[in-house]
Structure 1
């Protein structure tokens, strides 16, 4: 068996073990597989980047509650709801503004709505937004590069954060994999949630775009806590009681209606 094949098999076994036990430490895995701790850490870094595991503090790993789906898989989910949310968001953006777009399918739908915008500056961490706006001459595009997560098609990491520190924005539009009743937003990777918190601090107005199926959901173990005020934009299928709970916490909730 080649070294590469052996590494793949070891990583597959790590995922199976984490699924069964829920938690495993670097030291335990190192002893179990007869490799160094640094080798295990490289395995965990690769599995985290691939969305198969979520890292926790202290070198331990916890498998995600649900496997992270790719951006390609998510594009068709809640398609009409995402379009309604994207249109609502696009209508708030004014000529001449500088805005920041997150990665993700709903924010990508917003980027599509901006193809007819005039005199707009768009910075983004997402490949979808880049591809939507790359050929639009009236939109000035800034890419906040860094480490690319293949599953989310978004950039994360210290290079992304360093670029972010050099700009401010009129509005930021964030995506998410889930929103809980406390108003925290969920992602598969702690690098993503840290970045979202930093993005929110750089903008005058903060919007989270999430269709109704994501409300009350927490499929992963990484969470971002956004400072108030911020606005959740969702669709008409949102649970009224959940919306009421968020509003009681000081979060503005806007419901985007489908096009008539």
Structure 2
């Protein structure tokens, strides 16, 4: 169904992504009768305009669901997440005790830790538990609590009580959005409280977020982090947002995809 004009085609791409949740380059190319490179240019422009979020091999609508499930997010920005995870894994030292949040990027970090030795890893996320459950050289602590199915994470008073009994060398947090003005954005107030407690129990705080999340504010609940936290993102992040974050005292590490 070829369309006259890039603007009309891009409007239809947003409509399809909104109604289906995800849209691949191959599907869009067939639907609109244009080349894959044309679709990639469309997706790049729509992402720059804030109308779509790029995924691994396609795009997803920013407003298709109030909050994307962990399953939906797993394939999003795959290479960027892997690069972020590799950098984060290299920051961890043998013998440390680290705390992993839930989320797909932190889950990618857990995967990188499968070859680690002499670590203690505590987590609130099912993905990290599944990645490390059979790794004999890593001691795994599950904080427990109430399972939140959409994010595949544990939270609530039981998780908070467990945190009060431990301290950590490093904590790695995920985020639904990151801004210089407010910090990190989450969909659920219980998540913001838990992340603040996690940050307070660690000597070093890292937020792992790929570039599409930088400058985004999809929800109205925010995590207050202690000064001196580190954002780890990829090279696609808006330079203006990066400068603003650094002006607020945030240490920003930008990694390159392999």
Question: Do both share a fold (TM > 0.5)?
Answer: yes
| 1:84-233 correspondence runs (5 A) | 84-233=83-232
| RCO higher in structure (CA 8 A, sep ≥6) | 1
Contact kept, 8 Å, 1:120 with 1:140, in 2: the verdict is: yes
The one-character-per-residue Cα deviations of 1:151-205 (angstroms, maximum 9, x if unpaired) are 0000010000000000000000000000122151111100001100100000000
Q: Give the conservation status (yes or no) of the 8 Å contact 1:177–1:187.
A: yes
Equivalent-residue separation in structure 2 for 1:257 and 1:89 (angstroms): 13
- Distance, in Å, in 2 between the alignment partners of 1:184 and 1:225 is 7
Residue 136 of structure 1 aligns to a residue whose secondary structure is: coil
Summarize deviations over 1:25-49 as a string: whole Å, max 9, x none.
xxxxxxxxxxxxxxxxxxxxxxxxx
Q: Does 1:247 align with 2:246?
A: yes
Looking at structure 2, the residues matched to 79 and 214 of structure 1 have their Cα atoms a distance apart, in angstroms, of 14
| Aligned-residue RMSD, C-alpha | 1.2
Query: Taking structure 2 as the reference length, what is the TM-score of the superposition?
Result: 0.74
Residues 65/80 of structure 1: CA separation in 2 closer, same or farther (3 Å cut): closer
> CA distance change for structure 1 residues 65 and 72 in 2, over 3 Å: closer, same or farther?
closer
Separation (CA, whole Å) in 1 of partners of 2:130 and 2:227: 31
Aligned residues between the structures? 196
For structure 1, the residue ranges without an aligned partner over 5 or more in a row are 1-63
**Residue 150 of structure 2: SS of its match in structure 1?**
coil
User: SS of 2:171's equivalent?
Assistant: strand
Equivalent residue number for residue 82 of structure 2: 83
Q: Take 1:184 and 1:66, find their aligned partners in 2: how far apart are those partners?
A: 22
Contact preservation (8 Å) 2:182, 2:222: no
After TM superposition, the structure 1 = structure 2 runs for residues 23-34 of structure 1, keeping only pairs within 5 Å, are: none
Gaps of 5+ in 2: 1-62
